[in-house]
Amino acid sequence: MATWKYSEDKKIRHRLTYDDVLIRPGYSTAESRLDCQPMWSVFDKEYSPIIVANMDTISTLNMAEAVAAEGVMVPFHRFQSVRDQLLMLQEFHAWKCEKKFDRRVMCAAAVGLPEPEERFERIKEYCDVLFLDVAYAYNTQAIQEAERIRKSFDGILVVGNVATAEAVQHLEGIADLVKCGVGNGSVCTTRLVTGCGLPQVGALIECVEAGKEVGISVIADGGVKTAGDIVKALCLGAKYVMVGSMFAGTEESAGDGYDKRIYRGLASKDAQVDRFGSLPTWVAPEGISAVVSYKGPAERVVQVLHASIRQGMAMVGVTKLEDLARNSVLQVISPATKHENVPHILDRY
């Protein structure tokens, strides 16, 4: 991975995002891109580096079943009753055992800060992976809750979202993974509302480097517009990449028919009205709702993304995913290069 130096100025620091960088192509010895394996190998199991975002319109039971064969994790979201979330976990657990996917897919679900129904206590026995899902997790309450969960949960604990090295260091001995990304989601308006956030490449550099020091891996969450952004995140050292908008509009997402697939930020006005009955007076919405076009089966989306990762690996010159971050070099590009990156034949006329 490239070495990055930033100004020591405490007020203004230069940070980059996905559109600001390109991966430098390397020398490849692979005879075919099919020699490249876009999966993590853990003992005798293989897991995709892609995780479907725990958003209410896409982390459905149908979605989890549709992408299980591809090794993709779908954490069941917490913006539903404990009973409904528990039923999803139980049904998925039974389904994957019946289909003999037990060696390839983990059961995952999200919890928030302390809830009256004690969601964590009721679902933990069905979870291989638990997400402590907080919009911004670098605060006393979130860290204390993570500590409480860690004491009675033996599975993999993910805490998010954070965006800085300090936040990752604070979670040493508590979290196994952190979700990195603040204000960069496709339906998120946090940066517009609060003025806060970090460009995603800069955030990943900070979090990955800090994570190496304290034994915490990183999930890159948000900001992904293209499959190439997923490859860039993996080159930067992210272990997984959480993707939301790419699965919005798929057959397994929530919606009616082929022309009304909804994707929305969970801090949007619509989502909060659904939860609370009205928008609380003390809340400024930090997201939007969007109607997206129908995309077909989610399994096909995953297959295309895996193919893109494989092709990116071939261009870097590696055949194993664990070698990607060690052998890639990222380059800062100009605004003109950003234009050159996309189809531009029509601009000539």
Residue 90 near residue 126, CB atoms below 8 Å: yes
Q: Find residue 23's DSSP bridge partners.
A: 330
Q: At what angle do helices 298-316 and 227-235 cross, to 10 degrees?
A: 50
Our answer to whether residue 275 is catalytic in this structure is yes
Q: Say which DSSP state 209 is in.
A: H
Q: Indicate which residue of 36, 127, 188, 235 is catalytic.
A: 188
Minimal CA–CA distance to 218: which of 200, 241, 246, 235? 241
Residue 203 near residue 180, CB atoms below 8 Å: yes
Rounded Cα distance, 33 and 46, in Å: 18
| Cis omega (within 30 of 0) for bond into 161 | yes
Q: Indicate which residue of 13, 24, 83, 275 is catalytic.
A: 275
Radius of gyration of the chain (CA): 20
Q: Say which DSSP state 197 is in.
A: -
The tokens describing 88, both together, are 């999803």
The tokens describing 346, both together, are 């029509």
Rounded Cα distance, 124 and 101, in Å: 20
Query: Could you list the active site residues?
Result: 188, 275
